[in-house]
Amino acid sequence: MIIFAAYFVTTYTNGGGGHDYYEVFRYCFDKYLPMFAVFICAKEVEEQRIVRILFTFFLIYFGFGLVEYLLNHNYIREAIATAFPSTKAKDMFGPAGITNGFGTSSWRTRISITTKHPTVLGALLSTMFLFSLSYFKDAKEKFNIHREKVVLAALLITILLSGSRTSMGCAFLGCVIYFTNSLSFRKKLLAIITYAVLAVSLSSYAISSFSSKEGGSSLDLRQQQLLFTLVEFASKPLFGHGLYYTNHSILANAGESGNMYYSKEETQGLESIIFYTLLDIGLFGAFALIVFYGEIFFTFFSRRKEHPRLAMQGLLETSLLVVFLILSGEIGRNTEMCILFIGMSLGFLHKELEEAKATEADPALLEQSEDFENE
């Protein structure tokens, strides 16, 4: 509700009409309501059944990515673009969005499979990877351990093929957090010290890597985007300039309202949620997003002792989605796709809590649940 209120207020303060309020409703409906739909479904369906289906989908998706890489052509997007032609004569990938060859860097490939951009694919895959990683220790009890390893390896390979540096970093950081969490206190302390030393040692390499564009964003570009944002933000700091202001007024080419990709040299996409949040909905909107993601994070964090696996799953997904949005921003509806997995984890967790309460009231229900899982 607080996010809806933020967009409503910014629309009101900028003199929006009836259509603008409709856009606010549709925006919030499209972006956040699916999370609640998945939450409800996850509560009603057995977790093992959902995860098995998802693991199969992950492997199929990996196969699509491997085919795209080997053939150097995205036939899936070509089929989609042919069936549903774009209203634009040209976008960043050529006519109708058909992808043909993503060798845009000296050291990385850039596949996109069914997504609009390789970075979008990276965001989706890193979330899938972290979702699957949380089952690594439970695979022997609930799943085939060999299939679990194959799924994780397949997702990791596809992340590398996407060429998204942010996704690679998120996947790596998620692994570090996941395995460090299982250590004793003394080993955790030693691990953190080791990580700090390595971070300092590799910082110069990381800075030099991001200082060159190489088919992605450089540090100079991010500084340029930050300065541009601060200048625009100063005129309306509290409630912002209105929904879609960044896309429709700043990033749109002349005569192409709504084209959000790289149209002005001084903006180059504003690739961070911080930039366009401050411009569109101001400080109040930024506060609303902090409350939204903070509440989800706290829900998982508060249950880390009762249900460590699901809590860790949700913490990884939520934390690293926020990191991804800060570093690379929203491209091609990546938030909506990733937030589905967060909603699913919330549903699993809520179901576990309800079953725990029911078991305390009637211990016989525990035996019935175990019999069902064994079947």
The pLDDT score that the predictor gives to residue 236 is 87
Residue 216, sorted as left (phi over 0), alpha (psi -120 to 50) or beta, turns out to be beta
Return the pLDDT at 248: 74
| Unique residue bearing structure tokens 């088919």 | 215
pLDDT at residue 60, rounded to an integer: 95
Structure tokens at 180: 């460090």
Q: Over the stretch 35-53, which tens digit does the pLDDT of each residue have?
A: 989 999 999 888 989 999 9
Identify the pLDDT of residue 207.
58
What is the pLDDT, as a whole number, of residue 14? 86
Beta bridge partners of 94: 91
pLDDT for 157 equals 95
Helices 118-133, 308-328: axis angle to 10 degrees equals: 160
Predicted pLDDT of residue 292: 92
Low-confidence ranges of the chain (pLDDT < 70): 85-107, 139-141, 202-220, 251-270, 361-375
- Encoded tokens for 283: 């400080």
The pLDDT value recorded for residue 189 is: 87
Distance between CA 33 and CA 277 in Å, rounded? 20
Q: Which residue has the tokens 């960044």?
A: 246
